[in-house]
């Protein structure tokens, strides 16, 4: 597959859809993505010990997604968001550090690049984590504005405005930075309120270490972790407030989600009814809370129980903006706008969700193709068991993946194995590389996937 022409796709999109840059009537899009927040870490998702009134209100005014999937780690989820493709397809399933000398490939056509063709102004505030070197800076991949964190090998962590390092800091998760990030996000909204904008608020919270802002210390029933969750809720509330004040809330799609499940083994996050958390492909690691509010389009207080995921945002945003998703490569995501509109669909938009070489969900069934071990160190949860390759779970009856029913359904196991094999073969034929600087080590590749699927 030729991916060398990828950036030229953007030009062809504009030609194919004349008048896109006249976009005054298109909705704004705000995505607030947290870092390591569990499925059970919101009041609207069942927590009785965490206070999240603003996010709960967002949920009351919009749609709750019960089966929204991401990757089990930070960088892969963000790569999937930017490309509309599984991270495996876009070349990297590991956390990207500056020492790796890798990042999002220059040939990827990103979510903000596509929205720019429709007349959107694009901004990111917070955590990028798709390459810490200048070549991978967000402003080189479709964002008009960047205020957030990068890590320099010599200078350490810093806050950058576009390409300029403006402050050296110790910790991205220190709550003293929350007002700065919020001010940048609010300023972007006010500056661009007269025309469509896309704002990606990539919060570094509640990733460890937990260092809540002074105003939230000691305010939660769940200790320091709860204080940080309250800080997140405050930020969401302030963004909702400024949209109201500027008179643009009715014309804004607001999305809240987490990049992966919670870190376990410490007195922090909670995956609710789901099994385990970050670093695993158990449901607690890859299924996260997601809420979408779009007044006049999304019915308030609604719930979507279909398989959806972070990969779906790029094609859905394209549909909303009136641009075509890239046609020169495989995009794993699908347009879920019919779900947002409450339309009846003949069959689910996604019948399956696949983590290549690891797990496959098809309808209510989930098969583990390889052994899954617990994520993090066993702590207050006690010793958590592994699950052997070949385990089959009925997620409809058993979302906690506690009962292996493979012996009762050999035909389901065989069918899911065939589907996984087909998915991996397709991936091998249509994968793309991660961006690499000279001297970068070889990242995880499809050869690793081949090893995983031997059974």
Q: Which two tokens stand for residue 351?
A: 């019948």
Select which of 71, 88, 129, 350 is catalytic: 129
* Annotation says 74 is catalytic: yes
Give the residues across from 103 on adjacent strands. 435
SS3 assignment, position 302 = strand
The Cα 412–Cα 455 span in angstroms is: 16
Select which of 59, 71, 74, 88 is catalytic: 74
The Cα 99–Cα 272 span in angstroms is: 35
The Cα 48–Cα 273 span in angstroms is: 13
* Annotation says 44 is catalytic: no
Residue matched to tokens 């009134």:
53
The Cα 144–Cα 198 span in angstroms is: 10
Catalytically annotated residues: 74, 129
């Amino acid at each position: 597959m030729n991916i060398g022409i990828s950036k030229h796709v953007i030009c062809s999109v504009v030609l194919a859809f004349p008048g896109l840059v006249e976009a005054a009537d298109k909705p704004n899009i705000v995505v607030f993505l947290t870092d390591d927040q569990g499925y059970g870490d919101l009041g609207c998702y069942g927590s009785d010990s965490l206070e999240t009134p603003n996010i709960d209100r967002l949920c009351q005014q919009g749609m709750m997604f019960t089966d929204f999937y991401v990757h089990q780690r930070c960088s892969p989820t963000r790569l999937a968001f930017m490309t509309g493709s599984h991270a495996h397809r876009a070349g990297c399933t590991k956390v990207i550090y500056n020492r790796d000398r890798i990042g999002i490939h220059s040939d990827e056509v990103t979510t903000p690049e596509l929205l720019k063709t429709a007349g959107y102004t694009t901004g990111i505030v917070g955590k990028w984590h798709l390459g810490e070197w200048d070549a991978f800076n967000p402003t080189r991949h479709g964002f008009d504005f960047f205020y957030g964190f990068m890590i320099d090998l010599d200078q350490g962590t810093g806050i950058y405005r576009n390409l300029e390092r403006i402050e050296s800091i110790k910790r991205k998760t220190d709550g003293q930075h929350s007002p700065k990030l919020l001010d940048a996000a609010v300023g972007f909204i006010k500056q661009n309120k007269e025309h469509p904008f896309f704002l990606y608020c990539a919060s570094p919270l509640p990733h460890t270490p937990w260092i809540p802002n002074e105003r939230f210390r000691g305010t939660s029933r769940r200790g320091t972790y709860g204080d940080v969750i309250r800080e997140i809720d405050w930020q969401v509330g302030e963004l909702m407030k400024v949209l109201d004040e500027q008179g643009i809330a009715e014309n804004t799609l607001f999305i809240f989600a987490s990049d992966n499940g919670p870190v376990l083994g410490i007195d922090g996050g909670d995956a609710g009814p789901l099994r385990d958390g970050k670093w695993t492909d158990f449901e607690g690691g890859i299924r996260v809370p997601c809420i979408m509010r779009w007044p006049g389009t999304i019915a308030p207080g609604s719930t979507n129980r279909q398989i959806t995921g972070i990969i779906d945002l790029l094609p859905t945003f394209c549909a909303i903006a009136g641009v075509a998703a890239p046609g020169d490569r495989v995009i794993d995501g699908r347009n879920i706008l019919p779900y947002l509109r409450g339309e009846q669909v003949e069959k689910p938009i996604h019948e399956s969700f696949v983590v290549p070489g690891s797990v496959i969900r098809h309808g209510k069934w989930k098969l583990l193709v390889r052994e899954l071990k617990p994520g993090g160190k066993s702590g207050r949860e006690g010793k958590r068991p592994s699950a052997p390759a070949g385990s089959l779970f009925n997620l409809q009856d058993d979302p906690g993946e506690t009962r292996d029913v493979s012996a009762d359904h050999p035909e389901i196991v065989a069918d899911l194995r065939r589907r996984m094999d087909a998915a991996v073969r397709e991936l091998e034929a249509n994968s793309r590389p991660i961006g690499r600087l000279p001297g970068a080590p070889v990242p995880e590749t499809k050869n690793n996937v081949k090893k995983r699927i031997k059974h």
